[in-house]
Amino acid sequence: MLAVLALTPSHRRSRTALQSMFWSRNGPSDGAQNLRTALRRIRVALGDDADCVHADSTMVALQSGRFEVDIDTYDFAGAANLPESNQPLLLEDLDILKEPEFEDWLRDQRLAFETRLDEASRPAPQAATSRNNRLAFWLRVSPPDGLSGSSEYFYSNLVATAIAQGVSECGAAEIATTERDTPGINLKVSMLTKQNGAIASASLSEAHSDRILWTGNRFIPTGGEQVCDETALMRFVNQMVDIAVYCFRNLGSDRNMENAFTFGFDAIQKMFQLGRDELMEADALLDTALEQDMNGLTLAWKAYLRTFLVGEHNYDPGLVSEEVRALSRRAIELAPLNAYVLALSSYVHSFILQEFHAGQELAERSTELAPGNPLGHAFLGAAASYNGRHEQGLVHLTRARELSGPGPYAFTIDFLAGVASTLAGRHEEAVYLNEIVRQTKPDYKPAQRFLTALYLNLGDKQKAIAAMEELRKSEPDFSIRKMREPSYPSAALKSAGLLAQNDPDFS
């Protein structure tokens, strides 16, 4: 267990993941008891350093800064030059028979270790030979048919390049100029200008077989002096990025191929299901992705996941603040020019760390790098709202809604727009936005909290009771009085003055 925690990038695993890894043959209750026993034995063995291991109701972790992992400073170059018979084996003799999940984990760790030894033995290792790049998907922009030399060719190439950059920034694929042996997708975009706009035609095809994965057309109206309305064009680009990302995940399934992207993609899908178990599973998937490729985007998503633990499951922000700060800092160090990394880190600083000015600065940097990125505008709007500039926040969030594609986080943008509307005193608009969220994400508790308070404030007691009863299915003790408690995640409602009602039906 200590080896697993030490070699996991975040040095933490969920209790359910550890039980599954070490006691899969036992039932849940026996597995939980075995885990408690193991933790007691570890703490006894550590003596005065027992508090190095932290455990709560859901997670087990090693406290950062209290330990060292020798592999972090290991002399791979020196070990690589040893005779083959003396080559080290990672975690030698640490096999657990009949525990397949642990054995799979150990096999992956040893493969990664051997790969690092192999790379260290080469005088000038090439990036293309690394394990991660051998598994990386790629995207190539194909020229549009029959438009060579025309202004339509220029616009077609401009839009296709923007889509490719978005896919790359999402971590789904590398941009390639020539065909590679690994699975890839060809992207083709044609922009045919008309008097009142342009018809954008796009297709995604599997590179080695030319199999069409997706194709479609979209009319984009003209925008004043411009061939296309800028907002409509950016929205089309974002929609195509989301579609291409889904195509790459399906391509991975078709080829039975797993890499850092596929693990990260699956983690994001689970994350936005919002349940505690799904969030723990998502966190474990992100750890697996980081084991394959330590990159800033995955670290940023891992930090962002904690906002759901705080907002959805009442985690104390103070317990995760040190971790999210470290994750965000490292994410930005690794990917300082990635708009998604900056946007996700922005919201972590605003929502968990309550550092609103830092949140706004990070979001501004995100939108400067990628003016069409909806998450950057969404979290810039959130930061502005938290800073008291409610109307400005609403402007940014409206922009985010205009730009957003069909990705899994679209409902989050709608909800944040509802928060900004609430803080700006536009309660009817806030109800409309939160109802959209409730329709698309019925289990999203923050929207139900807002609807309870908003309907009660607007005098629609029947709808307020309906929203409250829906929320009580997952929070039996929910009430307006409960939301007034300092630890309850309802800062915006408190700030908007919507929790002052003393109606006995809601106490």
- Return the CATH number at 312: 1.25.40.10
* Domain termination site, one of 225, 254, 283: 254
Contacts of 57 (CB under 8 A, 6+ apart): 15
d(CA 407, CA 346): 19
| Residue 74 is assigned to a structural domain of this protein | yes
Single-letter amino acid code for the residue at 378: A
* Domain termination site, one of 254, 271, 291: 254
The pLDDT of residue 501 is 72
The pLDDT of residue 19 is 85
Placement of tokens 């790049």 in the chain: 133
Q: 409 and 293 in one domain?
A: yes
| Residue 128 is assigned to a structural domain of this protein | no
Q: 198 and 298 in one domain?
A: no
Q: 47 and 75 in one domain?
A: yes
The pLDDT of residue 126 is 37
Q: 240 and 268 in one domain?
A: no
Contacts of 301 (CB under 8 A, 6+ apart): 264, 267, 268, 271, 286, 344
Q: 176 and 271 in one domain?
A: no
Q: 274 and 236 in one domain?
A: no
| Residue 125 is assigned to a structural domain of this protein | no
Contacts of 194 (CB under 8 A, 6+ apart): none
Q: 240 and 193 in one domain?
A: yes
Helix, strand, coil % over all residues of the chain, rounded to 5? 60, 10, 30
Which string of b and e fits 136-147 if b means at least 16 CB within 10 Å? bbbbbbeebeeb
Give the three-class secondary structure for 486: coil
Single-letter amino acid code for the residue at 274: L
End-to-end distance of the chain based on CA atoms, in angstroms?
A: 45
Phi-psi region at 197: left, alpha or beta (left = phi > 0; alpha = psi -120 to 50): left
Q: 58 and 24 in one domain?
A: yes
Q: 490 and 377 in one domain?
A: yes
d(CA 294, CA 41): 32
Dihedral pair phi/psi, residue 426, rounded to 5°: -95, 75
The pLDDT of residue 123 is 53
The pLDDT of residue 10 is 66
Q: 371 and 242 in one domain?
A: no
| Residue 77 is assigned to a structural domain of this protein | yes
Q: How far is CA 76 from CA 6, 105, 108, 116, 217, in A?
A: 18, 21, 18, 7, 52
Contacts of 285 (CB under 8 A, 6+ apart): 263, 264, 266, 267, 270
Mark the ranges of the chain whose per-residue pLDDT is less than 70: 9-10, 64, 97, 119, 122-135, 146-149, 255, 487, 502, 505-507
d(CA 365, CA 476): 42
The pLDDT of residue 148 is 58
| Residue 51 is assigned to a structural domain of this protein | yes
| Residue 314 is assigned to a structural domain of this protein | yes
Supply the range of the domain harboring residue 389.
260-506
Q: 467 and 378 in one domain?
A: yes
**How many structural domains comprise the chain?**
3
Q: What is the CATH number of the domain that holds 171?
A: 3.40.50
The pLDDT of residue 505 is 67
| Residue 126 is assigned to a structural domain of this protein | no
Q: What's the whole-model pTM score?
A: 0.70
* Domain termination site, one of 211, 227, 254: 254
Q: 400 and 289 in one domain?
A: yes
- The strand ranges marked E within 285-410 are none
Nearest by Cα to 193 from 242, 144, 239, 238: 144
| Residue 10 is assigned to a structural domain of this protein | yes
